[in-house]
Structure 1
């Protein structure tokens, strides 16, 4: 099961039960303890998932919505290579006709940068190198 499928499976398990044990999550996903922890952290940090640990039930559940964007799994997934290609295309279009995409694109570009991760600055290098 790939990472995307795991996110959807975690989401479904948490929606279907009040509290889901860590062991049940691991068994359902077929992953290591470390992988499950990384997935939960990723969902909290990147998707703003209100996943919380419940000590009394020794498991996880969806809590109250967190501040910031509403939690929702994306309907359209890109891998890093596809995101770089999209950012490159946007950069090329903005160089060809400045102002053409100014109103529509900044929010999209910001989300793409967020998906790539805060520590990944490769996209900045790509933008510096594109010239027509």
Structure 2
């Protein structure tokens, strides 16, 4: 993955509503969610949601498909994995194989779900 693509993805996620939308879509899995369902779940006005969905789509983080009269959005898991891979490519500055570092740098479920944590999210 190229640095400019990673930067576009991170820039799109650097906004609270867009981050919430993306996390909701990751949770929904490949089947995704309809735009109305996203708006309802996050209490976001349709026009505002449309703006944020457009930003996430332009950054390549989400996919859109039409089912009947509904627009269904889903996270682009390949792109998400690419960004995470880019960020952890040289995990902890080790030159060992990528697999050797992953358990040390993997976030714990508790840390990933807490708003404030006294300890770092990984062992790095």
Of the two, which has the highest radius of gyration?
1
Q: Which TM-score applies when normalising by structure 1?
A: 0.40
Q: Which TM-score applies when normalising by structure 2?
A: 0.42
